[in-house]
Chain A
Amino acid sequence: DTGVSQNPRHKITKRGQNVTFRCDPISEHNRLYWYRQTLGQGPEFLTYFQNEAQLEKSRLLSDRFSAERPKGSFSTLEIQRTEQGDSAMYLCASSPLAQETQYFGPGTRLLVL
């Protein structure tokens, strides 16, 4: 399967714990995006990388959230000191440099108890 992959698919954690999600984009896609989707809502943009450079961050991305994309390949999204309001589906998407289409992964569903 050459699509976008995300791990883990599901994560249950207790409030206050740290969690880390991984996204592997489609090979040779330079752009990588993170979105968050809560129940009954559309995805909301969190942050975006072009290669290893993080070019844009939404104000939704509080200082408890950090994303990295070392070497411009896979990306990780870490949430520190999780809160119940962080419970959501975290989606990763990638796109080629010169095109407009973003391809989404299956998402990581986070539940904070």
Chain B
Amino acid sequence: QKEVEQDPGPLSVPEGAIVSLNCTYSNSAFQYFMWYRQYSRKGPELLMYTYSSGNKEDGRFTAQVDKSSKYISLFIRDSQPSDSATYLCAPRAGANNLFFGTGTRLTVIP
């Protein structure tokens, strides 16, 4: 079993839709939960992260972590064509390396 499972998509939504991206993980030691966005042929860029369970909101983006079910979510409200990218969840345990999901490729259609 992989450390992190993520539906690779692809996912296509119309502009303005609410997008839900999800991951599950198996390692109980994970404490930090990152979401990265990666455009084609570019390096990942950090969108946001949460520590332990709970919600965190940043503009149109909301990250949720449920450690009891080992479930990570990212919601995008009022999605825009510029949000079209691959979204990678990446939990970590302490100050160590990240464990990335496969990434979900999102396309927002104008």
Residues of B within 8 A of A44 (CB): 100
- The answer, yes or no, to whether B68 is at the interface (CB within 8 Å) is no
Given known contacts A91-B43, A105-B43, A40 and B102 CB-to-CB distance under 8 angstroms: yes
Number of interface residues of B (CB under 8 A): 25
Q: Which residue of B lies closest to A50 (CB)?
A: B95
Residues of A within 8 A of B95 (CB): 31, 95, 100
Q: Are A107 and B99 in contact (CB under 8 A)?
A: no
User: Which 9 residue pairs spanning A and B have beta carbons closest together?
Assistant: A42-B100, A104-B43, A45-B97, A106-B43, A104-B44, A43-B100, A107-B43, A42-B103, A100-B32
CB distance from A30 to the nearest CB of B (A): 10
A interface footprint on B75-110 (CB within 8 Å = 1, 0 otherwise): 000000000000010101001111111110000000
Q: In chain A, residues 1-43, which have Cβ atoms closer than 8 Å to a Cβ of chain B? A: 4, 31, 33, 35, 40-43
Picked from B42, B92, B97, the residue with its CB within 8 Å of the CB of A106 is: B42
Given known contacts A91-B44, A100-B92, A43 and B98 CB-to-CB distance under 8 angstroms: yes
Q: With A and B bound together, what is the CA distance between A101 and B33 in angstroms?
A: 10
CB distance from B4 to the nearest CB of A (A): 8
Residues of A within 8 A of B99 (CB): 45
Residues of B within 8 A of A43 (CB): 44, 88, 98, 100
